[in-house]
Amino acid sequence: MDKIQIGTNAGIVWNILKDNAHWNYEDLKEASGLSDRDLNAAIGWLAREDKIDFDINENQDKLFLHVNVYIG
In a domain, 72, yes or no: no
Distance (Å, whole) CA 19 – CA 47: 17
Say which CATH number the domain at 39 has: 1.10.10.10
Give a yes or no: residue 17 inside a domain: yes
Name which residue leads in pLDDT, 18 or 37.
Answer: 37
| Per-residue pLDDT, 72 | 55
Helix (H, G, I), strand (E, B) or coil at 47: helix
Total domains in the chain come to 1
Half-sphere exposure of 48 (CA within 13 A, CB side): 9
Residues above pLDDT 90, as percent of the chain: 42
Closest CA to 7 of 33, 37, 42, 31: 42
Boundaries of domain holding 59: 3-67
Residue 67 binned pLDDT confidence (cut-offs 50, 70, 90): low
* Cα separation, 62 vs 7, whole angstroms: 25
Q: How confident is the model at residue 31 (pLDDT cuts 50, 70, 90)?
A: very high
Give the number of C-alpha atoms closer than 13 A to the C-alpha of residue 46, restricted to the C-beta side.
25
